[in-house]
């Protein structure tokens, strides 16, 4: 079994770069986690680079604004890289496509200023999905008729957030990844950005190199996250060491761990082995702390 960590400081000297997830690790959508903030600040104080890497389906600027509102100070990180940043680049590289935007109004800024034609869903070449239109009341099953029609037309679903669920306070809300999974099951074609895709890790390492003033390789990086199919699979696919934060979206499964019973992790670790084979797991921590 991987080491169960009381704090991450014993690992801090092994890597020059932390690629740290945000939602579920640094905050819960309502407020920042003070211990996580302290850990990030402490790593940076000893010379480490922190790139916050998120599957948020929007550019990094509104992500930073949200961090400000939730009480995450800017000295806790060097840069923020969002799935939305990668998606904007992909859409532009596709070449003036006819795009239908599917998601909540708050995410519409993802396509602002792009060289695209925004059209109705029936005319779209690409359906760019950032999530459910109302994640507080809807479920993926509400979208089955729409997705079936899209699959019949052979439309491509560009998924800007591979996460299937996200923790907000004490609730789990569906994300774009849940719609993408359903669309794939219906025979539709899906293009992802964000974790675990290689593009976002490539961009994160480029950011780190710019900060460091030298190339930064995968061997210098540590991925920190609470998502098995995103953070941990991404680390495995990209050959990056990882720390699994077990108290994020899986917190409801791990009450016994918080009570000092590490054997409660066994079922979760079995799933992790299946989802992210070859993962170089440096340790497991209930919540990110120094």
Q: How sure is the predictor about 1, in pLDDT bands with cuts at 50, 70 and 90?
A: low
Convert the pLDDT of each residue in 156-199 to its tens digit.
999 999 889 877 777 788 999 999 999 999 999 999 889 999 99
Instruction: Give the number of C-alpha atoms closer than 13 A to the C-alpha of residue 10, restricted to the C-beta side.
Output: 10
Do the domains spanning 4-84+196-285 and 93-192 agree at the CATH topology level? yes
Please state, in angstroms and rounded to a whole number, the distance separating the CA atoms of residues 249 and 167: 6
Identify the helix (H) or strand (E) that includes residue 67: helix 60-70
Please state, in angstroms and rounded to a whole number, the distance separating the CA atoms of residues 165 and 135: 10
The fold of the 4-84+196-285 domain, in CATH, is Rossmann fold (3.40.50)
Return mean pLDDT, the chain. Answer: 91
CATH 3.20.20.70 fits 93-192, yes or no: no
Instruction: Name 170's Cβ contacts closer than 8 Å, sequence gap at least 6.
Output: none
Phi, psi dihedral angles at 223 (to 5 degrees): -90, 130
pLDDT at 95: 83
Kindly give the residue spans of alpha helices, DSSP state H, lying in 71-140.
Answer: 83-94
Query: What strand order describes the sheet that includes 117-118?
Result: 117-118, 98-102, 126-129, 156-159, 189-192
Q: What is the mean pLDDT of the segment spanning 103-129?
A: 92
> 70 vs 28, 45, 65, 163, 257, CA distance in Å?
9, 22, 9, 21, 27
Give percent of the chain with pLDDT exceeding 90: 72
Q: What is the mean pLDDT of the segment spanning 225-234?
A: 93
Q: How is residue 69 written in tokens?
A: 């509102």
pLDDT at 86: 93
Domain ranges of the chain: 4-84+196-285, 93-192
Q: Residue 261 above 60 pLDDT?
A: no
> What does the CA dihedral 8, 14, 17, 20 come to, rounded to 10 degrees?
-30
Please check whether residue 222 is in contact with residue 11, taking contact to mean a CB–CB distance below 8 angstroms.
yes
Sign of the four-CA dihedral 253, 256, 257, 259: positive
Convert the pLDDT of each residue in 15-64 to its tens digit.
999 999 999 999 988 999 999 999 999 999 999 999 999 998 989 999 99
Lowest mean pLDDT among 134-148, 204-218, 221-235, 254-268: 254-268
Q: Residue 249 above 70 pLDDT?
A: no
């Amino acid at each position: 079994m991987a080491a169960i960590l009381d704090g991450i400081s014993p690992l801090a000297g092994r890597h020059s770069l932390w690629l740290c997830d945000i939602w579920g690790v640094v905050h819960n959508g309502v407020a920042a986690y003070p211990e996580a903030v302290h850990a990030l600040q402490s790593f940076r104080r000893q010379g480490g680079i922190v790139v916050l890497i998120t599957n948020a389906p929007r550019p990094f600027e509104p992500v930073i604004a949200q961090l400000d509102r939730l009480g995450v100070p800017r000295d806790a990180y060097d840069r923020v890289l969002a799935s939305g940043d990668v998606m904007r680049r992909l859409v532009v590289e596709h070449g003036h496509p006819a795009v239908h935007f599917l998601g909540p109004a708050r995410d519409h800024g993802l396509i602002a200023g792009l060289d695209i034609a925004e059209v109705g869903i029936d005319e779209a070449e690409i359906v760019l999905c950032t999530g459910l239109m109302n994640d507080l009341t809807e479920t993926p099953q509400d979208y089955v008729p729409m997705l079936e029609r899209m699959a019949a037309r052979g439309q491509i679903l560009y998924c800007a957030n591979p996460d299937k669920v996200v923790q907000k306070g004490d609730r789990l809300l569906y994300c774009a990844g849940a719609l993408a999974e359903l669309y794939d099951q219906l025979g539709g074609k899906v293009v992802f950005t964000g974790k675990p895709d290689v593009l976002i890790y490539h961009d994160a390492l480029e950011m780190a190199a710019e900060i460091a003033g030298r190339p930064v390789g995968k061997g210098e990086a540590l991925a920190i996250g609470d998502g098995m199919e995103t953070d941990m699979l991404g680390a495995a696919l990209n050959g990056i060491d990882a720390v699994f934060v077990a108290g994020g979206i899986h917190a409801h499964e791990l009450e016994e761990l918080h009570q000092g019973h590490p054997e409660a992790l066994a079922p979760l670790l079995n799933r992790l082995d299946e989802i992210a084979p070859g993962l170089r797991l440096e340790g497991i921590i209930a919540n990110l702390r120094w």
